[in-house]
Structure 1
Amino acid sequence: MTAPQIQFSPEQIIALFIEAARSGDLDLLSQFLTAGMTIDAADSRGYTALIVAAYNGHEEAVRLLLEGGAAPDFVDLKGATALSGVAFKGFISIARLLLEHGATIDHANQAGRTPLMFAIMFGREDMARCLIEHGASPDTRDADGISVREMADKQGLSALFSDTTH
């Protein structure tokens, strides 16, 4: 007697792929990709495996996905990229990896907030320094007209820009 075939919907398959990224399961991610999984497949919130792996701090999964061709600037339904997520979480090595693979440093989400803004808003001073070193603009303004410098002043991080001109 043969075992019954289990059928999964495309949404369920994407959910399993993204769950593998959430847990940093390199073997399972590799199996999905070998089987032909679309690397930038997104769930109902617009999250891709890369966004989820980055947000959850799985550097090797991020590397695997980027080297497999994942788009570093894919955006979720709120307009955020993987770099936005790691900026507020403070995962500097993953931010560097994303930037090495072409992530846009000043990509703004739907609220006009850039990765540097997230780093500053969440007090991630080392991340902010990293982003500034890679060319993030301190003069960008969000949708409310608040600049990066103003956010830094409110967070007590204005010294980040002591070497740059207004």
Structure 2
Amino acid sequence: MKKFLSGIFGKPGDRDCTLKPQEFFNEFVAALKSHDMEKAQQLIAQNMRLVNSKNKDGMSVLAVSAAAGNREFVEMLLKAGAYIDSQDYFGLTALMWAVTNGHKEVVECLLDAGADIGIYNKFDGTVMTIAEAAGNKDIEDLLKKRSG
């Protein structure tokens, strides 16, 4: 598996997990903010076990990428094995963050990858209630179509 993923993300470094989880999170988010795909790929290749790292609020790097609307980073993290339905301390998933911020392309990507539409956050909200509250009709229609 590691050999396969190294083909996607480049050659892994000599040691796996060269960073601590919080360092990985911070460096990955910095790469995301600067749209540095090469740096993000390198971070993942050298720190495969940290792909599900979270910040102090329990927000994963996948959720941050989804909230930012960066489909390329979301796809890269999913290919690396990021847990798609990870919830932060408020129960929000990457899909919920993408819906909240109106990133339809990322919503489609996450749905295509199997994100769970039926998860409830700590406020008893789902992606559908979030889309309705945000007033984003396009995303609402997409979610309705995908939910059956």
Structure 1 and Structure 2 fold alike (TM over 0.5): yes
Q: Secondary structure at the match of 1:70?
A: coil
Alignment-mate amino acid for residue 109 of structure 1: N
Distance in 1 (CA, whole Å) between partners of 2:34 and 2:54 is 17
Alignment-mate amino acid for residue 41 of structure 2: S
Tell whether 2:107 aligns with 1:95.
Answer: yes
Q: Secondary structure at the match of 2:124?
A: coil
| Structure 1 alignment gaps of length 5 or more | 1-7, 137-166
Superposition RMSD in Å: 1.9
Distance in 2 (CA, whole Å) between partners of 1:105 and 1:129 is 13
Q: Secondary structure at the match of 2:122?
A: coil
Aligned structure 1 segments of 4 or more residues deviating by more than 6 angstroms: none
Change (3 A) 1:10 1:133: closer
Deviations 1:30-69 (A, max 9, x none): 0111112411011111111110011001011111111111
In our comparison, the structure showing a higher alpha carbon Rg is 1
Distance in 1 (CA, whole Å) between partners of 2:87 and 2:29 is 15
For these two proteins, the number of residue pairs brought into alignment is: 130
Structure 1 partner of 2:85? 73
Structure ranking higher on relative contact order (CA contacts 8 Å, 6+ apart)? 2
Q: State the TM-score, normalizing by the size of structure 2.
A: 0.80
Tell whether 2:119 aligns with 1:104.
Answer: no
Distance in 1 (CA, whole Å) between partners of 2:79 and 2:36 is 16
Alignment-mate amino acid for residue 78 of structure 1: F
* Equivalent of residue 37 in structure 2, options 22, 26, 51: 26
Distance in 2 (CA, whole Å) between partners of 1:45 and 1:108 is 17
Change (3 A) 1:79 1:129: same
Alignment of 1:4-153 (within 5 A): 10-37=21-48, 38-135=50-147
Change (3 A) 1:9 1:74: closer
Q: State the TM-score, normalizing by the size of structure 1.
A: 0.72
| Structure 2 alignment gaps of length 5 or more | 1-18
